[in-house]
């Protein structure tokens, strides 16, 4: 009991529980001093919010195929090497057919009848403007004939499009006759309503090619601003808008990578516990890619830092992977699993954090897994009493979802996606202009990083390896695009060609 004297009063009752658990041998297989070091490092010497500030402030949003993502990967590898991790490297998962960078000059505003800035976005990989472009706004005409009858009327005009676009953003379908007539007339671009006060970042990265990339200026604004334009037009008031969109798109291929780093095991080094999160994000103007998924990446980076700093000696290797291509269809994690078809048995389990800034509240576990995880509850809840952790017993491993754990689940490798609980309203920041560090919760991230460090350490150090579920304990395979069920790995469903109301976050 002695070494627990340092803990606060609230943890004393927890210590009682721990003591009982210890008495019960739940922790017998883990050196108590090591558990204490991990807890102390994670709770009292946390760097998770500094890591998030680095990702969101020094780097910014990190779209797949962007220089920001590459810069983040390079800087992170320097940190990992500095923390003493081994085998730190980039693993290429493929190439992206084009490059993208949203430049700092992003201007959007109404000039007349009111001088008012807009919240707005343009799809990734879509063209911008040559400097600020000011022009009158007109509703989209009814027909190509109407345009062709007086093309001069539409030169340099911002066309107000009739239908809101929602989360998926403007369609880049083949042009209609009307589209072509407007393009020929030399319009400035098209303005859509998002249909809400939220602006969603968008881009249809999956299957994109240089030839199928968006080639028109497409701007989305908030419903309230859009309605204001229409009200003014209905009152025959002159409406003038200005957009300056510094968008950089270039022909690829652009190589894409996952970041990998190891904390080698001493007894079964070939067996791995993977802790992971996706590093790529969207980049609607204003967004820093904080909660999707700067928080998950920071939690996993901090967890591996805590373990390295605590000098743990796991039996199995603890591997950190920061995926990319997640928002474009789980591209990095799909490739990682496909590349290891013949050695998936070496992956004992993978953890994924992609649920925003809320704290890790628990997991659904089949009975055989409970003894491996249950000991975590008293020790975590003693140290972090305000953010209770609880594991639920289930009869089958669910294989649905929409983040990087799914390719593992579909290959029948245990993939744990933490249930995140707390005050953050995820939809407010999910791919929106509000995805910024000020909308994250530092205390929750400290809990999550410490919890992940302990969970990985316990699975990597337990004398027995976590068993695979029996065949009848695997739920139905994750969804394929278009709704079919499948057992093999498949691209995720991340470009928004359907409603996202099902049970996952990403």
Task: Give the binding site for Zn ion (CB under 5 A).
Answer: 292-293, 354, 506
Q: Give strand pairing partners of 248.
A: 101
For residue 505, the minimal CB distance to Zn ion (Å) is: 7
Closest CA to 332 of 491, 493, 124: 491
Q: Give the integer Cα–Cα distance in Å for 77 and 61.
A: 18
Is residue 438 within 8 A of residue 287, CB to CB? The reply is no
For residue 435, the minimal CB distance to Zn ion (Å) is: 10
DSSP 277: E
For residue 38, the minimal CB distance to Zn ion (Å) is: 26
For Zn ion, the closer of residues 271 and 292 by Cβ is 292
For Zn ion, the closer of residues 30 and 323 by Cβ is 323
For residue 506, the minimal CB distance to Zn ion (Å) is: 4
For residue 430, the minimal CB distance to Zn ion (Å) is: 8
For residue 289, the minimal CB distance to Zn ion (Å) is: 9
For Zn ion, the closer of residues 222 and 506 by Cβ is 506
Phi, psi torsion values for 272, nearest 5 degrees: -125, 145
Phi, psi torsion values for 436, nearest 5 degrees: -125, 160
For Zn ion, the closer of residues 102 and 506 by Cβ is 506
What residue number has its CB nearest to Zn ion?
A: 506
Q: b/e per residue, 360-395, with b = 16+ CB within 10 A?
A: bbbbbbbeebeebbebbbbbbbbbbeebebebeeee
For Zn ion, the closer of residues 63 and 217 by Cβ is 63
For Zn ion, the closer of residues 220 and 293 by Cβ is 293
For residue 401, the minimal CB distance to Zn ion (Å) is: 11
For Zn ion, the closer of residues 141 and 294 by Cβ is 294
For Zn ion, the closer of residues 291 and 310 by Cβ is 291
- Distance, CA of 294 to chain centre: 7
Q: Give strand pairing partners of 323.
A: 278
For residue 35, the minimal CB distance to Zn ion (Å) is: 30
Residues in Cβ contact with 488 at an 8 Å cutoff, skipping those fewer than 6 apart = 410, 411
For residue 326, the minimal CB distance to Zn ion (Å) is: 6
Side-chain-facing half-sphere of 243: CA atoms under 13 Å: 28
CA separation (Å) from 111 to 118, 137, 220, 229?
10, 11, 17, 11
SS (H, E, C) 360-394: EEECEECHHHHHHHCCHHHHHHHHCCCCCCCCEEC
Q: Give strand pairing partners of 86.
A: 262
CA separation (Å) from 17 to 123, 390, 467, 501?
53, 15, 27, 40
For Zn ion, the closer of residues 263 and 279 by Cβ is 279
Q: Give strand pairing partners of 137.
A: 158
Q: What token pair was written down for 51?
A: 């890591």
Please give the radius of gyration of the chain, using alpha carbons only, rounded to the nearest integer.
Answer: 25
For Zn ion, the closer of residues 93 and 369 by Cβ is 93
For Zn ion, the closer of residues 293 and 410 by Cβ is 293
Q: Give the integer Cα–Cα distance in Å for 95 and 253.
A: 6
Q: Give the integer Cα–Cα distance in Å for 413 and 350.
A: 8
For residue 242, the minimal CB distance to Zn ion (Å) is: 33
Is residue 296 within 8 A of residue 290, CB to CB? The reply is no
For residue 311, the minimal CB distance to Zn ion (Å) is: 32
Q: Give the integer Cα–Cα distance in Å for 30 and 307.
A: 14
């Amino acid at each position: 009991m002695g070494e627990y004297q340092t803990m606060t009063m609230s943890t004393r009752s927890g210590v009682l529980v721990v003591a009982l658990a210890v008495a019960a041998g739940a922790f017998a297989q883990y050196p108590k001093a090591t558990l204490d070091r991990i807890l102390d490092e994670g709770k009292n010497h946390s760097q998770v919010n500094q890591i998030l500030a680095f990702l969101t402030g020094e780097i910014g949003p990190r779209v797949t195929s962007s220089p920001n993502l590459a810069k983040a990967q390079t800087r992170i590898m320097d940190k990992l090497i500095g923390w003493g991790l081994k085998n730190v490297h980039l693993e290429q998962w493929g190439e992206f057919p084009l490059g993208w960078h949203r430049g700092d000059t992003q201007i959007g505003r109404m000039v007349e009848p009111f001088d008012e800035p807009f919240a707005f976005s343009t799809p990734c990989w879509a063209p911008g403007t040559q400097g600020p472009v000011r022009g009158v706004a007109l509703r989209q005409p009814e027909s190509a004939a109407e345009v062709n009858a007086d093309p001069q009327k539409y030169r340099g005009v911002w066309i107000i499009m009739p239908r809101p676009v929602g989360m998926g953003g403007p369609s880049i379908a083949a042009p209609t006759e009307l589209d072509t007539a407007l393009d020929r007339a030399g319009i400035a671009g098209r303005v859509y309503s998002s249909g809400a006060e939220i602006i969603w970042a968008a881009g249809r990265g999956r299957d994109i090619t240089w030839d199928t990339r968006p080639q028109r200026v497409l701007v989305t604004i908030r419903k309230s601003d859009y309605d204001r334009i229409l009200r003014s037009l209905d009152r025959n008031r002159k409406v003038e808008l200005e957009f300056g969109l510094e968008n950089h798109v270039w022909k690829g291929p652009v190589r894409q990578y996952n970041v990998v780093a190891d904390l080698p095991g001493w007894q079964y080094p070939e067996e791995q516990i993977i802790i992971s999160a996706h590093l790529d994000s969207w980049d609607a103007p204003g967004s820093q890619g904080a909660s999707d998924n700067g928080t998950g990446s920071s939690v996993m980076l901090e967890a591996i830092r805590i373990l390295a700093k605590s000098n743990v000696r796991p039996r199995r290797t603890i591997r950190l992977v920061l995926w990319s291509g997640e928002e474009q269809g789980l591209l990095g994690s799909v490739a990682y699993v496909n590349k290891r078809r013949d050695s998936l048995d070496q992956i004992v389990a993978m953890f994924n954090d992609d649920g925003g800034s809320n704290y890790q509240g628990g997991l659904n576990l089949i009975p055989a897994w409970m003894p491996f995880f249950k000991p975590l509850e008293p020790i975590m809840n003693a140290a972090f009493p305000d953010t209770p952790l609880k594991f639920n017993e289930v009869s089958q491993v669910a294989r649905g979802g929409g983040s990087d754990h799914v390719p593992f689940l579909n290959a029948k490798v245990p993939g744990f996606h933490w249930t995140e609980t707390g005050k953050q309203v995820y939809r407010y920041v999910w791919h929106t202009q509000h995805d910024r560090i000020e909308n994250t919760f530092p205390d929750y991230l400290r809990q999550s990083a410490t919890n992940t460090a302990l969970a990985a350490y316990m699975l990597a150090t337990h004398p027995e390896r976590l068993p695979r579920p029996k065949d009848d304990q695997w739920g139905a395979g994750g969804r394929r695009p278009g709704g079919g069920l499948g057992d093999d790995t498949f691209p995720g469903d991340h470009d928004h060609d359907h409603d996202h109301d099902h049970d996952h976050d990403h």
